[in-house]
Amino acid sequence: LYGLRGNWVSARELIKKRHGLDTLVYAYALGAIHGFRRNEIKHLVPFARLDGSGRLKLLLGVFYERDGEMKKAFRWYEAGYAVNPGDPYVAYAYARILDMANRGKEAAKIYERIVQMPFAQKDLRENALQRLREIRRAGRDIDGRDVSFSAAG
């Protein structure tokens, strides 16, 4: 609720009492994104640097993507993936933005990994498989070079 309403002062006090990055920061970020509060996002950047799960970086990527700032979104998704490539949601967000940037070969490798993650939700695996198939059908990357893929999928 603090993020949705843009009440950083109250949220900060609660977070300080908890000594670090935890679910309160993520909850604040979700509220700020849902309420599309541009001014509140800046408070999250210092916490994102401490984020070892990649989830806060993912949320910042979502915010900037919704705001139309694709370069910032890309950087946050990439940073999230760099710290936690095993998280299926973080991986999917990064693969998707690579895909949007016409970097199909790189995206396909990540989509392949997501499809193989047994702990990823079925819908997420199915979406990754669908994108993988579409990339393979296109058969080209951003430079127009043919992209060869394995027969799997």
pLDDT in tens, 46-84: 777 777 888 889 988 988 898 899 999 999 999 999 999
Contact 129, 153 (CB under 8 A): yes
E-strand ranges in 1-153 read: none
First-to-final CA distance of the chain: 42
pLDDT for 153: 31
Q: Token pair 């949007």 is at which residue?
A: 100
DSSP state of 86: T
Identify any residues that bridge with 146 across adjacent strands, giving them in sequence order.
140
Q: What is the pLDDT of residues 5-22, one digit of tens each?
A: 444 455 555 555 555 555
